[in-house]
Amino acid sequence: MYRLAAGAISVDGSVVVDFYLASEIALLEELFRGRLLMSDFVELELLEADIRLAAAQTAAFSLTEEWNFFADLRRRKPGLGLGELGALTVARFHNAILVTNDRQARSAVEEFEIPVHGGLGVLEYATEASHRSGAEAVRILEEMIRQGAWISAELAETFRNKAFDAD
């Protein structure tokens, strides 16, 4: 089974923005329909940028335990924004995979053993699950980079090679 094939997905704004700028937000909705979650903090960030992720369910915090976790994480990880903190909290309390490109958020989840993937992981899953060909995934990656996504040259090259091997 593919890494992102099952279970809830807690999405951070960084990945959504990259797919939006590459005109591929529909791919996120297609891949994760019915299991895509976002915190109300992420939803607000996206709305302020006039980005809508229609397939996502907003998972607002309702438990004191969630708010306490959020506050503790905010105190201990001051470099994280509200969106990243919200996405992490949703992932933890909904047993979801965190999807983020934020390096600090990816580092923070290790402490809580929350599975995490980034935009490249989403593109890899899209090819594994035959939603996009390797060439299409590389085109999306190239557009993300053209639009300002920061992806190391080494990771991008590794992805290109792997995507073309899959075709």
Note the pLDDT tens digit of each residue in 98-121: 999 988 898 888 888 899 999 999
Domain extent, residue 36, equals 1-167
Note the pLDDT tens digit of each residue in 37-95: 999 999 999 999 999 999 999 998 988 999 999 999 999 999 999 999 999 999 999 99
Rounded distance, CA 132 to CA 124, Å?
9
Rounded distance, CA 130 to CA 126, Å?
6
CA distances from 18 to 32, 35, 70, 90 (A): 16, 20, 25, 20
- CATH number, domain with residue 73: 3.40.50.1010
Q: Count up the domains in the chain and report the number.
A: 1
| Residue 23 and residue 139 in contact, taking contact as beta carbons nearer than 8 Å | no
Residue showing tokens 């959020």: 70
- Give me the percent of the chain exceeding a pLDDT of 90: 77
> What tokens were used for 166?
């899959």
